[in-house]
Structure 1
Protein backbone atom coordinates (compact mmCIF):
# COMPACT_ATOMS: atom_id res chain seq x y z
CA UNK A 1 0.00 0.00 0.00
CA UNK A 2 1.38 3.39 -1.02
CA UNK A 3 1.94 5.98 1.68
CA UNK A 4 0.67 9.45 0.81
CA UNK A 5 3.42 12.01 1.53
CA UNK A 6 2.75 14.65 4.18
CA UNK A 7 1.60 17.95 2.70
CA UNK A 8 4.13 20.79 2.79
CA UNK A 9 3.30 24.49 2.95
CA UNK A 10 4.89 26.11 -0.10
CA UNK A 11 5.68 29.33 1.75
CA UNK A 12 7.90 27.32 4.13
CA UNK A 13 10.28 26.51 1.26
CA UNK A 14 13.01 28.78 -0.05
CA UNK A 15 14.10 28.45 -3.67
CA UNK A 16 16.92 26.00 -2.91
CA UNK A 17 14.63 23.70 -0.93
CA UNK A 18 12.02 23.81 -3.68
CA UNK A 19 14.67 22.94 -6.29
CA UNK A 20 15.70 19.95 -4.18
CA UNK A 21 12.11 18.69 -4.19
CA UNK A 22 11.96 18.90 -7.99
CA UNK A 23 15.53 17.75 -8.67
CA UNK A 24 16.10 15.45 -11.63
CA UNK A 25 17.73 12.10 -10.86
CA UNK A 26 21.49 12.59 -10.74
CA UNK A 27 24.12 11.13 -13.10
CA UNK A 28 21.73 9.46 -15.54
CA UNK A 29 22.85 8.22 -18.94
CA UNK A 30 19.27 7.81 -20.16
CA UNK A 31 16.49 10.39 -20.39
CA UNK A 32 14.09 11.42 -17.65
CA UNK A 33 10.86 12.77 -19.11
CA UNK A 34 8.89 15.04 -16.81
CA UNK A 35 5.46 16.39 -17.75
CA UNK A 36 4.05 19.55 -16.18
CA UNK A 37 0.36 20.52 -16.28
CA UNK A 38 -2.13 22.73 -14.49
CA UNK A 39 -5.84 21.91 -14.28
CA UNK A 40 -8.95 23.14 -12.51
CA UNK A 41 -10.49 21.21 -9.63
CA UNK A 42 -13.01 19.74 -12.07
CA UNK A 43 -10.27 18.57 -14.42
CA UNK A 44 -10.21 21.25 -17.13
CA UNK A 45 -6.84 21.84 -18.77
CA UNK A 46 -7.87 25.29 -20.03
CA UNK A 47 -10.08 28.09 -18.79
CA UNK A 48 -12.00 30.76 -20.64
CA UNK A 49 -10.34 31.59 -23.94
CA UNK A 50 -9.06 28.04 -24.37
CA UNK A 51 -5.63 28.63 -22.80
CA UNK A 52 -4.06 27.32 -19.60
CA UNK A 53 -2.71 30.71 -18.51
CA UNK A 54 -5.99 31.66 -16.83
CA UNK A 55 -5.54 28.71 -14.44
CA UNK A 56 -2.11 29.88 -13.36
CA UNK A 57 -1.73 30.93 -9.73
CA UNK A 58 1.38 32.46 -8.12
CA UNK A 59 2.35 29.01 -6.82
CA UNK A 60 1.93 27.42 -10.24
CA UNK A 61 3.99 30.17 -11.90
CA UNK A 62 6.76 29.73 -9.31
CA UNK A 63 7.04 26.00 -10.01
CA UNK A 64 6.59 26.46 -13.78
CA UNK A 65 9.62 28.75 -13.94
CA UNK A 66 11.67 26.51 -11.64
CA UNK A 67 11.00 23.46 -13.81
CA UNK A 68 12.29 25.36 -16.84
CA UNK A 69 15.42 26.36 -14.91
CA UNK A 70 16.03 22.70 -14.08
CA UNK A 71 15.37 21.30 -17.57
CA UNK A 72 17.77 20.72 -20.46
CA UNK A 73 14.99 20.89 -23.07
CA UNK A 74 11.30 21.89 -23.15
CA UNK A 75 9.21 19.52 -25.26
CA UNK A 76 5.87 20.77 -26.60
CA UNK A 77 3.38 20.09 -29.37
CA UNK A 78 2.96 22.55 -32.23
CA UNK A 79 -0.71 23.14 -31.39
CA UNK A 80 0.20 24.27 -27.88
CA UNK A 81 2.96 26.51 -29.25
CA UNK A 82 0.38 28.27 -31.40
CA UNK A 83 -2.43 28.37 -28.80
CA UNK A 84 -0.21 29.64 -25.97
CA UNK A 85 1.92 31.91 -28.22
CA UNK A 86 5.18 30.35 -27.06
CA UNK A 87 8.44 32.23 -27.13
CA UNK A 88 11.96 31.08 -26.41
CA UNK A 89 12.62 30.06 -22.79
CA UNK A 90 13.66 32.99 -20.60
CA UNK A 91 15.80 31.66 -17.75
CA UNK A 92 18.35 32.92 -15.22
CA UNK A 93 21.90 32.06 -16.33
CA UNK A 94 23.38 32.31 -12.83
CA UNK A 95 20.67 30.11 -11.34
CA UNK A 96 21.09 27.49 -14.07
CA UNK A 97 24.83 27.34 -13.41
CA UNK A 98 24.16 26.96 -9.68
CA UNK A 99 21.61 24.19 -10.24
CA UNK A 100 24.05 22.37 -12.51
CA UNK A 101 26.85 22.63 -9.94
CA UNK A 102 24.52 21.14 -7.32
CA UNK A 103 23.68 18.24 -9.66
CA UNK A 104 19.92 18.82 -9.74
CA UNK A 105 19.50 20.29 -13.24
CA UNK A 106 20.35 23.51 -15.07
CA UNK A 107 23.22 24.05 -17.51
CA UNK A 108 27.00 24.39 -16.98
CA UNK A 109 27.16 27.64 -18.98
CA UNK A 110 23.77 28.93 -17.90
CA UNK A 111 22.26 28.65 -21.38
CA UNK A 112 18.45 28.47 -21.54
CA UNK A 113 16.86 25.17 -22.59
CA UNK A 114 15.77 24.94 -26.23
CA UNK A 115 12.10 24.58 -27.07
CA UNK A 116 11.59 21.28 -28.95
CA UNK A 117 8.42 21.43 -31.05
CA UNK A 118 6.77 18.18 -32.16
CA UNK A 119 5.13 18.54 -35.58
CA UNK A 120 4.95 15.72 -38.11
CA UNK A 121 4.17 18.21 -40.89
CA UNK A 122 6.78 20.82 -39.89
CA UNK A 123 3.76 23.09 -39.50
CA UNK A 124 5.39 25.97 -37.66
CA UNK A 125 5.68 29.51 -39.04
CA UNK A 126 9.39 30.33 -39.43
CA UNK A 127 8.57 33.80 -38.07
CA UNK A 128 6.83 32.47 -34.95
CA UNK A 129 8.27 33.95 -31.76
CA UNK A 130 9.13 30.44 -30.51
CA UNK A 131 11.89 30.64 -33.10
CA UNK A 132 12.64 34.35 -33.40
CA UNK A 133 12.98 34.99 -29.64
CA UNK A 134 14.95 31.82 -28.82
CA UNK A 135 18.41 32.37 -27.34
CA UNK A 136 19.11 28.65 -27.80
CA UNK A 137 18.04 27.41 -31.27
CA UNK A 138 14.58 25.88 -31.33
CA UNK A 139 14.36 22.20 -32.27
CA UNK A 140 11.75 21.10 -34.82
CA UNK A 141 11.00 17.38 -34.40
CA UNK A 142 9.36 16.35 -37.65
CA UNK A 143 9.27 13.65 -40.34
CA UNK A 144 10.98 12.85 -43.60
CA UNK A 145 7.62 13.20 -45.37
CA UNK A 146 7.10 16.80 -44.21
CA UNK A 147 7.41 19.53 -46.82
CA UNK A 148 11.05 20.06 -47.78
CA UNK A 149 10.31 23.74 -48.37
CA UNK A 150 8.91 24.14 -44.86
CA UNK A 151 11.88 22.40 -43.30
CA UNK A 152 14.29 24.51 -45.31
CA UNK A 153 12.53 27.73 -44.29
CA UNK A 154 12.63 26.72 -40.61
CA UNK A 155 16.34 25.91 -40.85
CA UNK A 156 17.04 29.24 -42.55
CA UNK A 157 15.17 30.96 -39.70
CA UNK A 158 17.63 29.42 -37.23
CA UNK A 159 15.79 26.32 -36.07
CA UNK A 160 17.44 22.91 -35.81
CA UNK A 161 15.24 20.60 -37.91
CA UNK A 162 15.38 16.92 -36.88
CA UNK A 163 13.62 14.12 -38.73
CA UNK A 164 12.34 11.61 -36.19
CA UNK A 165 10.30 9.30 -38.43
CA UNK A 166 9.28 8.75 -42.05
CA UNK A 167 5.59 9.72 -41.94
CA UNK A 168 4.67 9.71 -38.24
CA UNK A 169 6.55 10.47 -35.04
CA UNK A 170 6.65 7.54 -32.63
CA UNK A 171 6.33 9.11 -29.15
CA UNK A 172 8.62 6.51 -27.57
CA UNK A 173 11.40 7.66 -29.93
CA UNK A 174 11.44 11.27 -28.68
CA UNK A 175 13.45 10.80 -25.45
CA UNK A 176 16.19 8.93 -27.33
CA UNK A 177 16.37 11.56 -30.08
CA UNK A 178 16.86 14.28 -27.47
CA UNK A 179 19.31 12.21 -25.42
CA UNK A 180 21.45 11.72 -28.54
CA UNK A 181 21.97 15.50 -28.45
CA UNK A 182 22.86 15.48 -24.75
CA UNK A 183 19.38 16.61 -23.69
CA UNK A 184 18.34 14.07 -21.06
CA UNK A 185 16.45 16.18 -18.54
CA UNK A 186 13.26 16.65 -20.52
CA UNK A 187 10.34 18.87 -19.50
CA UNK A 188 7.16 18.32 -21.51
CA UNK A 189 4.59 21.13 -21.27
CA UNK A 190 1.92 19.51 -23.42
CA UNK A 191 -0.50 19.66 -24.90
CA UNK A 192 -2.91 16.91 -23.89
CA UNK A 193 -2.51 14.95 -27.11
CA UNK A 194 1.29 14.85 -26.85
CA UNK A 195 1.07 13.90 -23.16
CA UNK A 196 -1.46 11.18 -23.95
CA UNK A 197 0.68 9.69 -26.69
CA UNK A 198 3.81 9.75 -24.52
CA UNK A 199 2.00 8.22 -21.54
CA UNK A 200 0.36 5.56 -23.69
CA UNK A 201 3.79 4.62 -25.05
CA UNK A 202 5.21 4.30 -21.54
CA UNK A 203 7.63 7.19 -22.08
CA UNK A 204 6.56 9.39 -19.14
CA UNK A 205 8.72 9.10 -16.03
CA UNK A 206 7.09 11.84 -13.98
CA UNK A 207 4.05 14.12 -13.79
CA UNK A 208 4.02 17.45 -11.98
CA UNK A 209 0.39 18.51 -11.60
CA UNK A 210 -0.95 21.78 -10.24
CA UNK A 211 -4.61 21.88 -9.21
CA UNK A 212 -5.87 25.45 -9.32
CA UNK A 213 -8.61 26.39 -6.81
CA UNK A 214 -11.20 26.91 -9.54
CA UNK A 215 -14.29 25.22 -10.94
CA UNK A 216 -14.61 26.03 -14.63
CA UNK A 217 -17.30 23.85 -16.23
CA UNK A 218 -17.52 24.00 -20.02
CA UNK A 219 -16.13 21.44 -22.42
CA UNK A 220 -12.39 21.74 -21.87
CA UNK A 221 -10.26 18.62 -22.34
CA UNK A 222 -8.41 16.60 -19.72
CA UNK A 223 -4.64 16.94 -19.36
CA UNK A 224 -4.18 13.62 -21.20
CA UNK A 225 -5.93 12.72 -24.46
CA UNK A 226 -5.32 9.48 -26.38
CA UNK A 227 -7.03 7.22 -28.89
CA UNK A 228 -6.81 4.21 -26.58
CA UNK A 229 -7.23 3.81 -22.84
CA UNK A 230 -4.20 2.73 -20.79
CA UNK A 231 -3.19 2.28 -17.16
CA UNK A 232 0.15 3.48 -15.82
CA UNK A 233 0.73 3.13 -12.08
CA UNK A 234 2.24 6.27 -10.53
CA UNK A 235 3.65 6.88 -7.05
CA UNK A 236 3.16 10.21 -5.19
CA UNK A 237 6.44 11.89 -4.24
CA UNK A 238 5.28 15.13 -2.66
CA UNK A 239 2.23 17.29 -2.07
CA UNK A 240 2.61 21.06 -1.69
CA UNK A 241 -0.13 23.55 -0.92
CA UNK A 242 -0.30 27.32 -1.01
CA UNK A 243 -2.38 29.70 1.05
CA UNK A 244 -4.79 30.39 -1.84
CA UNK A 245 -5.73 26.70 -2.10
CA UNK A 246 -3.40 25.73 -4.94
CA UNK A 247 -2.19 22.11 -4.64
CA UNK A 248 1.01 20.96 -6.34
CA UNK A 249 1.72 17.25 -6.63
CA UNK A 250 4.59 15.26 -8.10
CA UNK A 251 4.13 11.67 -9.30
CA UNK A 252 6.77 9.26 -10.61
CA UNK A 253 6.35 6.06 -12.57
CA UNK A 254 6.17 3.03 -10.32
Structure 2
Protein backbone atom coordinates (compact mmCIF):
# COMPACT_ATOMS: atom_id res chain seq x y z
CA UNK A 1 0.00 0.00 0.00
CA UNK A 2 2.93 2.36 -0.58
CA UNK A 3 3.15 5.22 -3.04
CA UNK A 4 1.41 8.54 -3.53
CA UNK A 5 -2.00 9.21 -2.07
CA UNK A 6 -5.09 9.21 -4.25
CA UNK A 7 -6.09 12.07 -6.52
CA UNK A 8 -9.14 14.27 -6.12
CA UNK A 9 -12.68 12.81 -6.05
CA UNK A 10 -13.31 14.01 -9.61
CA UNK A 11 -10.13 12.32 -10.83
CA UNK A 12 -11.09 9.18 -8.90
CA UNK A 13 -14.34 8.96 -10.86
CA UNK A 14 -16.59 10.79 -8.40
CA UNK A 15 -17.63 7.60 -6.61
CA UNK A 16 -16.03 8.60 -3.30
CA UNK A 17 -14.65 11.81 -1.87
CA UNK A 18 -12.12 12.64 0.81
CA UNK A 19 -14.61 14.25 3.21
CA UNK A 20 -16.92 11.25 2.98
CA UNK A 21 -14.07 8.84 3.63
CA UNK A 22 -12.82 10.86 6.62
CA UNK A 23 -16.30 10.45 8.09
CA UNK A 24 -16.59 6.77 7.11
CA UNK A 25 -13.23 5.84 8.69
CA UNK A 26 -13.53 8.17 11.72
CA UNK A 27 -12.19 6.77 14.99
CA UNK A 28 -14.47 6.43 18.03
CA UNK A 29 -11.66 7.93 20.15
CA UNK A 30 -7.93 8.59 19.90
CA UNK A 31 -6.92 7.37 23.36
CA UNK A 32 -7.72 3.64 23.16
CA UNK A 33 -4.82 1.76 21.50
CA UNK A 34 -6.06 0.41 18.18
CA UNK A 35 -4.50 -1.66 15.38
CA UNK A 36 -5.98 -1.12 11.94
CA UNK A 37 -4.88 -3.24 8.99
CA UNK A 38 -5.04 -1.81 5.47
CA UNK A 39 -4.77 -4.11 2.46
CA UNK A 40 -5.85 -4.32 -1.16
CA UNK A 41 -6.84 -7.73 -2.58
CA UNK A 42 -8.02 -9.07 -5.94
CA UNK A 43 -11.35 -10.85 -6.35
CA UNK A 44 -9.55 -14.20 -6.38
CA UNK A 45 -7.57 -13.41 -3.22
CA UNK A 46 -4.24 -12.21 -4.63
CA UNK A 47 -2.38 -9.75 -2.42
CA UNK A 48 -0.02 -8.57 -5.17
CA UNK A 49 0.28 -8.16 -8.92
CA UNK A 50 3.76 -8.35 -10.37
CA UNK A 51 5.10 -8.69 -6.84
CA UNK A 52 3.58 -5.45 -5.54
CA UNK A 53 0.24 -4.54 -4.01
CA UNK A 54 0.13 -1.21 -5.85
CA UNK A 55 -0.83 -2.92 -9.11
CA UNK A 56 -4.15 -3.99 -7.57
CA UNK A 57 -5.30 -0.57 -6.43
CA UNK A 58 -6.71 2.47 -8.21
CA UNK A 59 -7.27 6.12 -7.38
CA UNK A 60 -10.12 5.34 -4.96
CA UNK A 61 -7.93 2.86 -3.09
CA UNK A 62 -5.11 5.39 -2.87
CA UNK A 63 -7.55 8.07 -1.70
CA UNK A 64 -8.71 5.75 1.09
CA UNK A 65 -5.10 4.95 1.98
CA UNK A 66 -4.37 8.67 2.33
CA UNK A 67 -7.38 9.10 4.62
CA UNK A 68 -6.36 6.15 6.79
CA UNK A 69 -2.84 7.55 7.09
CA UNK A 70 -4.28 10.94 7.98
CA UNK A 71 -6.17 9.38 10.88
CA UNK A 72 -3.21 7.33 12.15
CA UNK A 73 -0.55 8.18 14.71
CA UNK A 74 1.91 5.70 13.21
CA UNK A 75 2.09 3.68 9.98
CA UNK A 76 3.55 0.24 10.70
CA UNK A 77 5.10 -2.08 8.10
CA UNK A 78 7.23 -5.21 8.03
CA UNK A 79 10.78 -5.06 6.69
CA UNK A 80 9.86 -7.32 3.75
CA UNK A 81 7.11 -4.91 2.74
CA UNK A 82 9.53 -1.98 2.94
CA UNK A 83 11.80 -3.76 0.47
CA UNK A 84 9.06 -5.10 -1.84
CA UNK A 85 6.98 -1.92 -2.01
CA UNK A 86 9.83 0.57 -2.05
CA UNK A 87 8.81 2.54 1.05
CA UNK A 88 10.63 5.84 1.40
CA UNK A 89 9.64 8.90 3.36
CA UNK A 90 5.95 9.29 4.16
CA UNK A 91 4.47 12.68 3.26
CA UNK A 92 0.76 13.42 3.25
CA UNK A 93 -0.99 15.68 0.79
CA UNK A 94 -1.25 19.28 1.97
CA UNK A 95 -4.97 19.08 2.72
CA UNK A 96 -4.45 15.99 4.88
CA UNK A 97 -1.59 17.60 6.80
CA UNK A 98 -3.82 20.63 7.33
CA UNK A 99 -6.65 18.41 8.63
CA UNK A 100 -4.23 16.89 11.14
CA UNK A 101 -3.06 20.31 12.33
CA UNK A 102 -6.68 21.41 12.78
CA UNK A 103 -7.26 18.34 14.97
CA UNK A 104 -4.20 18.89 17.14
CA UNK A 105 -1.99 16.29 15.45
CA UNK A 106 1.50 16.46 13.97
CA UNK A 107 1.55 17.12 10.22
CA UNK A 108 2.63 13.54 9.46
CA UNK A 109 2.14 10.20 11.21
CA UNK A 110 5.34 8.43 12.29
CA UNK A 111 6.57 5.54 10.16
CA UNK A 112 7.68 2.31 11.86
CA UNK A 113 9.25 -0.89 10.52
CA UNK A 114 9.21 -4.30 12.25
CA UNK A 115 12.36 -6.35 11.76
CA UNK A 116 14.00 -9.27 13.54
CA UNK A 117 17.05 -9.48 11.27
CA UNK A 118 17.50 -5.69 11.05
CA UNK A 119 18.59 -6.17 7.44
CA UNK A 120 17.85 -2.61 6.38
CA UNK A 121 20.80 -0.29 5.92
CA UNK A 122 20.77 3.14 7.58
CA UNK A 123 21.08 4.63 4.08
CA UNK A 124 17.83 3.00 2.90
CA UNK A 125 15.23 5.53 1.64
CA UNK A 126 12.97 4.47 4.52
CA UNK A 127 15.40 6.33 6.78
CA UNK A 128 17.17 8.72 4.41
CA UNK A 129 13.93 10.18 3.00
CA UNK A 130 12.01 10.23 6.28
CA UNK A 131 9.98 13.36 6.98
CA UNK A 132 9.81 12.55 10.70
CA UNK A 133 12.21 10.32 12.62
CA UNK A 134 11.25 6.69 11.89
CA UNK A 135 10.88 3.85 14.37
CA UNK A 136 12.42 0.38 14.25
CA UNK A 137 10.71 -2.39 16.24
CA UNK A 138 12.83 -5.45 17.02
CA UNK A 139 13.59 -7.89 19.87
CA UNK A 140 16.32 -8.35 22.45
CA UNK A 141 18.05 -11.19 20.57
CA UNK A 142 18.60 -9.08 17.44
CA UNK A 143 22.15 -8.07 16.49
CA UNK A 144 23.23 -5.33 18.94
CA UNK A 145 25.63 -3.80 16.41
CA UNK A 146 22.84 -3.44 13.85
CA UNK A 147 20.54 -2.03 16.52
CA UNK A 148 23.18 0.58 17.34
CA UNK A 149 23.65 1.47 13.68
CA UNK A 150 19.93 1.94 13.11
CA UNK A 151 19.61 3.90 16.35
CA UNK A 152 21.59 6.64 14.60
CA UNK A 153 18.72 7.19 12.14
CA UNK A 154 15.64 5.91 14.02
CA UNK A 155 14.13 5.32 17.43
CA UNK A 156 14.60 1.61 18.24
CA UNK A 157 11.96 -0.20 20.32
CA UNK A 158 12.88 -3.61 21.76
CA UNK A 159 9.66 -5.61 22.14
CA UNK A 160 10.13 -9.25 23.09
CA UNK A 161 13.07 -11.51 23.93
CA UNK A 162 13.67 -13.79 20.92
CA UNK A 163 10.92 -12.55 18.59
CA UNK A 164 8.90 -9.38 18.28
CA UNK A 165 5.96 -9.56 20.68
CA UNK A 166 2.98 -7.89 18.92
CA UNK A 167 1.23 -6.98 22.18
CA UNK A 168 4.40 -5.46 23.64
CA UNK A 169 4.86 -3.59 20.34
CA UNK A 170 1.35 -2.17 20.45
CA UNK A 171 1.79 -1.13 24.07
CA UNK A 172 5.22 0.41 23.41
CA UNK A 173 3.87 2.48 20.50
CA UNK A 174 0.92 3.60 22.62
CA UNK A 175 3.32 4.46 25.43
CA UNK A 176 5.27 6.62 22.97
CA UNK A 177 2.10 8.61 22.31
CA UNK A 178 1.15 6.66 19.16
CA UNK A 179 -1.95 4.62 20.07
CA UNK A 180 -3.61 4.72 16.63
CA UNK A 181 -1.63 2.18 14.62
CA UNK A 182 -2.20 1.68 10.89
CA UNK A 183 -0.49 -1.50 9.70
CA UNK A 184 0.06 -1.78 5.95
CA UNK A 185 1.53 -5.29 5.98
CA UNK A 186 2.99 -7.50 5.08
CA UNK A 187 1.18 -10.80 5.37
CA UNK A 188 3.53 -12.30 7.99
CA UNK A 189 3.16 -9.28 10.25
CA UNK A 190 -0.62 -9.40 9.77
CA UNK A 191 -0.65 -13.09 10.72
CA UNK A 192 1.44 -12.41 13.83
CA UNK A 193 -1.05 -9.75 14.94
CA UNK A 194 -4.03 -12.01 14.20
CA UNK A 195 -2.47 -14.89 16.14
CA UNK A 196 -2.42 -12.86 19.37
CA UNK A 197 -5.83 -11.28 18.66
CA UNK A 198 -4.35 -7.78 18.34
CA UNK A 199 -6.26 -6.72 15.20
CA UNK A 200 -9.09 -4.29 15.90
CA UNK A 201 -10.00 -3.40 12.30
CA UNK A 202 -9.40 -4.57 8.76
CA UNK A 203 -9.79 -1.97 6.02
CA UNK A 204 -9.80 -3.94 2.79
CA UNK A 205 -9.97 -2.61 -0.75
CA UNK A 206 -11.49 -5.32 -2.96
CA UNK A 207 -10.09 -4.80 -6.43
CA UNK A 208 -12.16 -5.71 -9.50
CA UNK A 209 -9.37 -7.89 -10.89
CA UNK A 210 -8.85 -11.62 -11.36
CA UNK A 211 -5.14 -12.28 -11.09
CA UNK A 212 -4.53 -16.05 -10.83
CA UNK A 213 -0.82 -16.90 -10.45
CA UNK A 214 0.74 -17.80 -7.13
CA UNK A 215 0.41 -14.52 -5.19
CA UNK A 216 -0.18 -15.06 -1.47
CA UNK A 217 -3.03 -14.11 0.85
CA UNK A 218 -3.13 -11.00 3.01
CA UNK A 219 -2.00 -13.25 5.90
CA UNK A 220 0.84 -15.76 5.80
CA UNK A 221 1.72 -18.23 8.56
CA UNK A 222 0.48 -18.35 12.10
CA UNK A 223 -1.90 -20.82 13.71
CA UNK A 224 -5.38 -21.30 12.26
CA UNK A 225 -8.02 -19.80 14.52
CA UNK A 226 -11.23 -18.06 13.45
CA UNK A 227 -11.79 -14.55 14.77
CA UNK A 228 -15.16 -13.01 14.04
CA UNK A 229 -15.36 -9.48 12.61
CA UNK A 230 -18.37 -7.28 11.88
CA UNK A 231 -18.95 -5.20 8.77
CA UNK A 232 -18.84 -1.45 9.44
CA UNK A 233 -19.20 -0.29 5.85
CA UNK A 234 -19.02 -1.39 2.23
CA UNK A 235 -18.52 1.62 -0.04
CA UNK A 236 -18.61 1.10 -3.83
CA UNK A 237 -15.93 3.20 -5.53
CA UNK A 238 -16.42 2.53 -9.21
CA UNK A 239 -15.70 -1.17 -9.61
CA UNK A 240 -13.62 -1.29 -6.42
CA UNK A 241 -15.23 -1.93 -3.02
CA UNK A 242 -13.95 -0.29 0.17
CA UNK A 243 -14.66 -2.61 3.11
CA UNK A 244 -14.23 -1.78 6.79
CA UNK A 245 -14.51 -4.56 9.36
CA UNK A 246 -14.17 -4.16 13.13
CA UNK A 247 -13.66 -6.64 15.92
CA UNK A 248 -16.99 -8.29 16.75
CA UNK A 249 -18.33 -8.19 20.28
CA UNK A 250 -17.80 -11.43 22.20
CA UNK A 251 -20.72 -13.85 22.01
CA UNK A 252 -22.64 -13.94 25.30
CA UNK A 253 -22.65 -17.33 27.03
CA UNK A 254 -25.46 -18.69 29.20
Give the structure-1-normalised TM-score: 0.88
3-state SS, counterpart of residue 66 of structure 2: helix
Q: Name the counterpart of 2:244.
A: 250
Rounded to whole Å, the distance in 2 between the matches of 1:162 and 1:170 is 11
Report if aligned partners of 1:142, 1:163 keep a CA contact under 8 Å in 2: yes
How many Å separate the matches in 1 of 2:105 and 2:55? 34
- Displacement after TM superposition at 1:125 (Å): 1.3
Counterparts of 1:190-205 in structure 2 under 5 Å? 190-205=185-200
Q: Deviations over 1:92-146 (max 9, x none)?
A: 46533424645xxxx5242x11211111222211111011111111100011221
Quote the Cα distance in structure 2 between the aligned partners of 1:219 and 1:168: 28
Deviations 1:53-82 (A, max 9, x none): 111111111111111111110011001001
1:174 corresponds to: 169
1:17 aligns to what? 20
In 1: Cα distance, 2:71 partner to 2:168 partner: 22
Please tell me the root mean square deviation across aligned C-alpha atoms, in Å: 1.8
Cα distance, 1:197 vs structure 2:
1.0
Which position in structure 1 is the counterpart of 2:252?
none
Q: 1:122 aligns with which of 118, 125, 130?
A: 118
5+ residue gaps, structure 1: 1-9
Query: Is the Cα contact below 8 Å between 1:47 and 1:55 reproduced in 2?
Result: yes
Q: Does the CA-based 8 Å contact 1:76-1:190 persist in structure 2?
A: yes
> Structure 2 regions of 5+ residues with no counterpart?
1-12, 249-254
In structure 2, the CA distance between the partners of 1:120 and 1:66, relative to structure 1 (3 Å rule), is same
Q: Distance in 2 between matches of 1:154 and 1:121?
A: 12
User: Residue deviations 1:127-178, cap 9 Å, x none?
Assistant: 110111111111000112211211111122x211111122111122221010
Within 5 A, what are the aligned runs for 1:79-158? 79-92=80-93, 95-99=96-100, 101-102=102-103, 108-110=105-107, 112-156=108-152, 158=153
Check whether the contact 1:97–1:109 (CA below 8 A) recurs between aligned residues.
no
Give the match for residue 33 of structure 2.
31
Deviation per residue, 1:224-254 (Å, 9 max, x gap):
12231011110001111122x1111000001
8 Å CA contact 2:15–2:236 kept in 1: the answer is: no
Q: 2 CA distance for matches of 1:184 and 1:100?
A: 18
